[in-house]
Amino acid sequence: MKFFVDTADIDQIRELAETGLLDGVTTNPSLIHKSGKNFLEVVRDIAAAVAGPVSAEVVATDHAEMMREAEILRKIAENVTIKVPLTIDGLKTCKALTSDGTMVNVTLCFTANQALLAAKAGATFISPFVGRHDDIGFDGMQIISDIRIIYDNYDYATQILVASIRHPVHVLESAKIGADVITAPPAVIHQLFKHPLTDRGLETFASDWAKTGQTIA
C-alpha cells in the first residue's frame, strides 16, 4: 500500500520523505489556507521535494474553468496530479485530462456509486472520505470495502486512495481491505511508529548496554 501525506507543510513533507516511506502528497484549499503561503509556490516546492504524485486541487466548479486552472497546475511539474470534485463537471474534467495523459484525483467521494462513476471517467485516484463518514455515524471503511469489490469485479485501474483518515486503525483497515493508497496527516503517520512496548524495550536495551561500559567504535 502506498503512503501519501495530507499536508501543505513542506518541512513535514521533507522529514517524511527522508524515511523512504512517502509515496506522494495530497493538498486541498483548506490545507493551503492553513499554510498561509502562495498556492502555486507551495505546489512547486512539494513537487520538487517528492518524486511521487502531488495532488493540487482546482477551485472552480464549472468544467471550462476547471480545465483552465488544470492547465496552469499541470505545467508546474510532471508529478502534479489534478484534483477535481466528484460532480458532473468534475468528471467531465477528469475524462478530458486523463485522456490527455494527466493524472487525476477525484475527491469528495462518499459512496461506492460515486466511485464507480469516477472509475468510468478514467480517474487515476478516487478519494473516499472515511473520517467524515464516521463523524456522522456511518462506517466509512464499509465504503472502501464496497469500492474494492466493485473495482475488482470490473478490473478498473483507478486506485483507491483512502482520505480523511483520523487514526491508525483507519490505516490498518485500509490495508486489510486492499486499498491502494492512504493519505493521512503527518501526526497520524507518526503515530504508526509508536508503541509503548517499543519504547520500553529501547529503554531496557539502553540501560543494559550502559552497564556493560562498552562503546561501538
Give me the active site residues, please. Answer: 83
Distance CA 65, CA 195 (A): 47
Residue 74: phi and psi, rounded to 5, are -75, -10
Residue 3: phi and psi, rounded to 5, are -110, 120
Distance CA 66, CA 58 (A): 6
| Rounded (10°) CA dihedral 96, 98, 104, 107 | 50
Distance CA 130, CA 35 (A): 24
Non-local CB neighbours of 97 within 8 Å, separated by 6+ positions: 67, 70, 74, 82, 84, 104
